[in-house]
Amino acid sequence: MVKSAQTVKAGAWVVSGKLCARLFDLALLLILSRLLTPDDFGLIALAMAPIFIGEAVLELPLVQALLRFDRPGKSMYDTAFTLSILRGLALATLFISLSVPLAHFYNEPRLTLLVCVLSLAPILRGTISPKLVIFMKEMDFRRDFLLDVFGKAVAFVVATTLAITTQSYWAIAAATITAPIAMNLLSYILAPYRPGFTLKDWKHFADMIGWNSLSQIIDATNWQMDRLLLGRFVPTEALGRYTIANDLITLPHRSFVTPLSRPLMANFTLQKTPDDLSNAYSLSLSAIFLLMAPILLMLSMLSEPIVLILLSEKWLEAAPIAQWLAAIGILSLPVTPLAPLALSQDRTRFLTLRAFLELIVKLPTMIYGVVFYGIWGAIGARAITAALTLVATLLIVRRLIGLSFKRQIRPLLSGGFSIMMMGGVMWFTRPDIGIAPYDKILIAAQLVVCCVLASITYLGSLYTIWVISGRPDGVIKKIVSQISSYKTRLLS
């Protein structure tokens, strides 16, 4: 019970920090979408795609390795810091050397300088104080909260100022650079550390880096494959719309789900028996689906009014893209908890297996789809890959911890009826944006009413089904218990 409470508290801090950070991201996106053009966003997407791949390929699980030791010594921290520095320098050198070939490949001369400047980001992200892991081991993520919020706040101020004064794509690049600078400086205040350079304890990191690096190479290719191909076969304006739609859809996932990776890994590590581990995994899967599925459904069914209100009419062509990407996102939700589970059990080869299976499906379908059908071909390839990856994940989890298909699918089925009820309400109450000129105030009011009614329907049906089912253990029971406890304290 204590472990569960610690995990909930830790997750609350991490999610709160990421949520605040994503609110800054959203606010910045709203501002930049009005001041910049789809071509600007497409150009940044071209520059960042290879950098994202390089960073993901060489992402070292140093924090995860340090978490496995009760009391890491100074030399272990120094080894982790040294590996991070070497990684950052290697990536920067690689990107700078590739800047000219990339500019020629995409026939975009602006990429040369842009890639060179953005190559500084991996070095900055890699030099954050490694001693932050001390607080992670104690399930204390308050410092993570401060780092996320401070970094995004600084990036927001700098990028907004540049966008207003220059209306240039360099505003987006500035946000990418200034956030890690701010986080880097603050990390040494929150977790003081005197850097040292050594590889003395390399052996403690070698095992995790081995399998994990192979998995990351494949994951990175899967992750950015669509943007790399689209950058070659569609105009930068179209790539910009695809990028904006993707960023809008992934914003809730990055705000609520991605931050839970470290608390979930720590929680899985603390479980002492196979049954405890299976229960913890099932609970996390249920929580992620019940939280994210309604959000993604709203983004899918209400993509047009959301894009019109949040961005502007010049981005309306991105709405159908966002609609389908959100639907695919629902299908991908059950895949999320596998990574922290495999890392907590030091069985990262299962992540490599899943990534490889995804690659052999996604690569040919994505190439065919993009070459012949452009953006819609990329969306189709993502849908096919998501469905097959879901099946692979169910099989891997059963092999990894013995959790049956029934217990893995149950959270999806229990929330499925509530999702359908919610979708029905949105279908009949969704705003009709009509044709220009748009009455944005009226559309925004209709959008709010629709979302409120849909949310009430979803929560009400979830609670009703839970009561009818005999109030079983799970996420709903924990939430109801927390609310009852809060009401008791409030009335006493």
Q: What is the pLDDT of residues 430-471, one digit of tens each?
A: 998 887 778 889 999 999 999 999 999 999 999 998 888 888
Confidence band, pLDDT 50/70/90 cuts, at residue 1: very low
Dihedral angle sign, alpha carbons of residues 226, 229, 235, 237: positive
**Tokens 């993520």 label which residue?**
141
**Of the candidates 272, 271, 242, 278, the residue with the CA atom closest to the CA atom of residue 379:** 242
Question: Is 0.85 topped by the overall pTM?
Answer: no
Beta strands in 10-169 (DSSP E): none
Q: What is the pLDDT of residues 283-342, one digit of tens each?
A: 888 888 998 999 999 999 999 999 999 888 889 999 999 999 999 999 999 888 888 888
Dist. CA 122–CA 88, nearest whole Å = 5
Residue 413 pLDDT more than 90? no
Query: How far apart, in Å, are the Cα atoms of 308 and each of 163, 303, 420, 430?
Result: 21, 8, 25, 14
Tokens, residue 52? 């994202």
Sequence ranges of the domains in the chain: 17-210
Alpha-helix runs per DSSP H in 271-337: 274-301, 303-310, 319-332
Q: What is the pLDDT of residues 331-375, one digit of tens each?
A: 999 888 888 888 777 777 888 888 889 999 999 999 999 999 999
Q: What average pLDDT score do residues 198-223 get?
A: 69
Tokens, residue 478? 């924990």
Q: What is the pLDDT of residues 132-150, one digit of tens each?
A: 777 766 666 677 788 888 9
**Of the candidates 197, 195, 181, 207, the residue with the CA atom closest to the CA atom of residue 122:** 181
Angle, alpha carbons 316-221-378 (nearest 5°): 35
**Exposure of 164 by Cβ count < 10 A (0-12 exposed, 13-18 middle, 19+ buried)?**
exposed
Q: Which residues contact 22 (CB under 8 A, 6 or more apart)?
A: 152, 251, 252, 254, 255
Backbone angles phi, psi at 491, to 5 degrees: -85, -20
Dihedral angle sign, alpha carbons of residues 11, 17, 19, 25: negative
Dist. CA 473–CA 283, nearest whole Å = 9
* Whole-number pLDDT of residue 11: 57
Dist. CA 471–CA 473, nearest whole Å = 7
Contact between 47 and 177 (Cβ < 8 Å): no
Contact between 428 and 454 (Cβ < 8 Å): no
